[in-house]
Amino acid sequence: MLIRQRSSWHTFVLDPVDGNRNLTSTASAPPGAVVTAAARRTMTSVRENGTDTGTPSRASRLRAMIREKELTYLMEAHDGLSARIAEVEGFQAIWASGLSMSTALGVRDSDEASWSQLLGVVEAMVEATTVPIVVDGDTGYGNFNTARRFVAKAERLGVAGVCLEDKIFPKMNSFVGDSHTLAEVSDFTAKIRACKDSQRSPDFVLVARVEALIAGRGLAEALDRAHAYHEAGADAIFIHSRQSDATEILDFCREWGQRLPLVIAPTTYASTPSSEFQAAGVSAVIWANHSMRAAVSAMRRVCREIFTKQSVHRTESELASLAEVFELMEYSEIDEAERRAYRV
């Protein structure tokens, strides 16, 4: 069975004993190769029941990515559809954004959605994709105990990692207002240790997000916090800023010295070339909310046009065709599965 990604093809081999599908890469696709939803949903190396299929897990792939010298890019997704599109268009990892998922649920990014609601969305994203997913876990939704339960549940769903930020619960989105209260370092390091203790796979990635620059605490405190989180067991540091240029991010990178992989989200300093981040030693760049914002813009424009003109005639040419949607969602796999089931 073959599954197509934008940059490569992969072959699934059905294990006759346990039914797991093992993944091997192929350089090119033979004629008539077909993408199937069933193959996509089963492309994972270490099954949730712990069975090793002999291929890299999503978590191990993510861990390898952030340790590489080349930049890794994570594309934001907020539901199964946006996650699938991100993968089809070539992204090798996905950021399950708290802001974007909350917005898609019709609530604000201030912990108005429960963590079980958000993990329900994440589950759909895992089912729709094969690439590593990092979940925006906000503050961990409380103390060390709620944080470790969130991480444990997320790992069971099949995500590759979770990112926790060092603010207090409930938090406000980092780009809203000027009141951002940081957690005590002792409380946040306790969360990190509890989460690392609760993970099952040694490859699972816990990212510690430092919000000191967002809160106006300055570079020195940002570095102190990052060092403490490193010592507590974090696998990567996400240094966050909302300045219009990358000066304070690049200053942090110089002082940090690549002690752990660094993650950034250049939402407000988007004009900075990625080559500068590469040169500064950044490991991963998150395009943190762009699919959601694109969807908001497109939906508002289409709704406004249809409402105003009371017709969809001119709008149709600007939309994805139903055939494109059916192909993206692999409707043909249902017929294939039916033929196999009924042996026709």
- The structure tokens listed for 190 are 């306790």
CA-to-CA distance for 144 and 191, rounded, in angstroms? Answer: 4
Instruction: Return phi, psi of residue 6, to 5°.
Output: -60, -35
Residue 2 β-bridge partners = 11
Residue position matching structure tokens 């091997």? 24
Q: Kindly give, in sequence order, each residue whose CB lies less than 8 Å from that of residue 312, ignoring residues fewer than 6 positions away.
A: 306
109 catalytic? Reply is yes
Per the CB < 8 A criterion, the answer to whether 127 and 201 are in contact is no
CA-to-CA distance for 12 and 14, rounded, in angstroms? Answer: 6
CA-to-CA distance for 209 and 206, rounded, in angstroms? Answer: 10
For the CA atoms of the chain, what is the radius of gyration?
Answer: 21
Which of 109, 136, 166, 235 does the annotation list as catalytic?
109
Among all residues, which ones are annotated catalytic?
Answer: 109
